[in-house]
Each structure stands twice: as C-alpha cells, then as structure tokens.
Amino acid sequence: MVRPYTITRGRTPGQHKHRLDTATQVVTVEPRPETPRLELTPEHRAILEVCHRPVSLAELAVALGQPMGVVRVLCGDLLDHGAVFVRTPRTEVSREILEQVYRGLCKL
C-alpha cells in the first residue's frame, strides 16, 4: 500500500488554483504539441485511462481506490498541463425545481 501523501508528494488539494468538488466532471483531452510535458505517475496514467468519457471526481476516486484529496491533487496536475478538461456542475437551482421538490415532499 502506498500512502496518499507519497502519491501527491505531500501536496494538498488546497494548493491548486482549481476548485474541484465531488461532482466535477473530468475528461481526457488530446495532447497538444505546445503543452508542457508532465512527468506522469502510474496514478496520473490511470486517471487518463478512466477519463476517456466524462467521469465525476467521486466516481474517479472509487475507480482508482484513492481518497478524494489525492484525486483532486492529481486532477489538478493534469488540468494545469492541459491533459484533462473539467466541467463544474451548476450551483444554482431554479425556483421551478425547488417548487417541484417541495410539492413532492408535501405529498409524502
């Protein structure tokens, strides 16, 4: 077993400029020639293999068997080097959806 701090080289999720929450979708992008080379660890390569289709960070953590913090750091590395694209979910909920949920709860 490899300790999480070894995989991230002691870095924590807060050290990246990107806000990556559990619902953030990650997908591999085609490498561009001008993209700086990233020294890929086996964990980075595993992320790139899993993310050929959009996958949430939570799903990715489960697939890799790694804690969320580790996955956030590694995805941040890949994002910084243009190897993945991330899509953050909408944080605002429409009033209509809230009313539908309320009506559904009232029927219970």
CATH of the domain at 36: 1.10.10.10
The pLDDT of residue 2 is 62
Predicted TM-score (pTM) of this structure: 0.67
Range of the domain at 71: 4-107
Taking phi first (over 0 means left), then psi (-120 to 50 degrees means alpha), and beta for anything else, what does residue 57 get? alpha
The pLDDT of residue 29 is 84
pLDDT tens figures, 19-56:
787 888 888 887 655 555 667 888 888 999 999 899 99
The pLDDT of residue 17 is 67
What's the number of domains the chain is made of? 1
